[in-house]
Amino acid sequence: MDTRYQSTSIEQKFSFLSSVPEEGASGFITDFSRSKELQKISHDRIPGGAHTYAKGDDQYPEMSPAFLVKGKGCHVWDVDGNEFIEYGMGLRSVTLGHAYEPVVEAAYQQMLLGSNFTRPATIEIEAAQKLLSLITSAEMVKFAKNGSDVTTAAVKLARAYTGRDLVAICADQPFFSTDDWFIGATTMTAGIPDAIQQMTVKFRFNDIHSLEDLFALYPGRVACVIMEVETADAPKGNFLNEVRQACQDNCALLIFDEMITGFRWAVGGAQALYGVTPDLSTFGKALGNGFSISALVGKREIMQLGGLQHDRERVFLLSQTHGAENHTLAAAIATMTIYETEPVVEFLDRQGLRLKNGILKIISENGLDEFVEILGKPCNLIYVTRDRQKNRSQEFRTLFLQEIIKRGVIAPSFVVSYSHTDEDIDRTISAAGEALVVYRKALDEGIEKYLVGRPVKPVFRKYN
C-alpha cells in the first residue's frame, strides 16, 4: 500500500510515538502521565469519560493506558507512547487487525467516489449479495451501523409479524442492545418506563423447560426468542433444536444474535456451525473489521414487511442517514472476502488454543487452578478471577489486569485476532505468567499489598 495514510500532519500529531518512552526503574510500563491528564479533561466533558461504557475507566485499573492513539495489527500505542499487545480489539469488532491494509484500501477507494448520496449507491446491492451468499438462513438483509440497531429492529419486526408484545431473552447472556427493551431488563433501569420493563421476560440457557414455562405462562404473547447461539457456555445436547421447535410450536420467531459469533465461529456464523436455522439473525462487529456496520438478515416473508412489495401494515424498518455509508460497505465487502478466501476462523482457533494452553500451564504451576479459569471457545476466550474464598473477584481481576498491562499486554479478555502472531501469543503467555506469580503472592499475603488504587466494577450497577 502507498504511504498516503501516513500524512505529515498525522506524523506530527503523534510524533511522540517514535520516541521510546523511558521505562520505569523496574523495566515495567509505569508512565501513564499523559493519560492521567486527559482523564481529568475527559470526565469533565464526556459522562463516564468515554463514549462506550466497556472502554471506561471503571473497567480498568488505575495503572493503565486511558487513551490509545494508534493501532497496527494487534499492537496499540497509548498517549504516553507505550506499546501494548491488545486483546478483544474494538470490543471484538477488529477481527483481522488494526489498520488492516486491504480493508483500509477498499474503504479509501470508495471514499474517493463519495460517502453518501441522495439515492442508494450500487455498492448497497453488492454488499447485500456478498452477505446473503455467506449466511444460509439469510434471504434479505438491511444494513445499519451498530449491533443494537439491528437487534432492536429484529425485535420490532418480530412484534409486527406476530402481533404480539413480549420478548423472551436469554438471562445468562450479557448483552443484546443499548435500547430500552434490553437495558430495562438489567439493573440499570433509570429512565425506562415500567411498562417497557414488563415486556421483556427471561429464560435460562441450556434449560428448555424454562423457555417452555414462559410460553405456558404467557400463552400467545411471546413475539420472539432472542439469544446468542453460544457464549462461554456451549449449547448442551439438543438444546438449540429444542428452542427452534418450541418457537415453532408457539408461533414465536427465533432470533440469533450473532454479533460476537458471526464470522468468528464460522464464516456462516454459529448457526452454520450448529446447523440450526433462525427466522432472523443479526450480525455486526467482525462484519466490518472495526468499521461501523451491522446487519439484520432473515426470511423474506418476515423481512419484506419493511419493504414495498406486500399488502400488510408497513413496518418502519431501519432507515438511517448513515445506514448504508458507502465506504463502510466497501470495508465490509473487503472484510467478508478475506473471511471467504483466507483461513481466518481456523487461525483464530489455533492462536486462541496456543494462548489457552500456555496460560493454563502457568495457572497449574502456580497452584491457581481454583482461582483463575479460562473459559469459552479458543477464538473467544474470557477469564474468571477468584479470591481466597474462591468467590468471583473484581479486586483480583483488577490486579491481573494491572500486572499484565505493566508487562505490555491489554487483556480484558483473551480474544485473539488474525494479526496475533505466535510471537505475540508467546509474549502474552510470558506476561501472564509473571502476572500470575503476583496473583499467587496476593492470595497468600493479601491483595492490598499489590493492588494500586480501587478495583474495577461491573458496567451494570445501579449506583457508582
Ligand X SMILES: Cc1ncc(COP(=O)(O)O)c(C=O)c1O
Footprint of ligand X on this chain (CB under 6 A)?
A: 91, 146-148, 151, 175-178, 228, 257, 259-260, 284
Q: Which is nearer to ligand X, 78 or 257 (CB)?
A: 257
> Closest separation between CB of residue 178 and ligand X, Å?
6
> Closest separation between CB of residue 149 and ligand X, Å?
7
> Closest separation between CB of residue 279 and ligand X, Å?
17
| Closest residue to bound ligand X by CB | 147
Cell 457508582 maps to which residue? Answer: 464
> Closest separation between CB of residue 6 and ligand X, Å?
29
> Closest separation between CB of residue 371 and ligand X, Å?
27
Q: Which is nearer to ligand X, 96 or 144 (CB)?
A: 144
Q: Which is nearer to ligand X, 24 or 458 (CB)?
A: 458
Q: Which is nearer to ligand X, 54 or 113 (CB)?
A: 54
> Closest separation between CB of residue 381 and ligand X, Å?
15
Q: Which is nearer to ligand X, 178 or 206 (CB)?
A: 178
> Closest separation between CB of residue 442 and ligand X, Å?
30
Q: Which is nearer to ligand X, 256 or 371 (CB)?
A: 256
Q: Which is nearer to ligand X, 286 or 315 (CB)?
A: 286
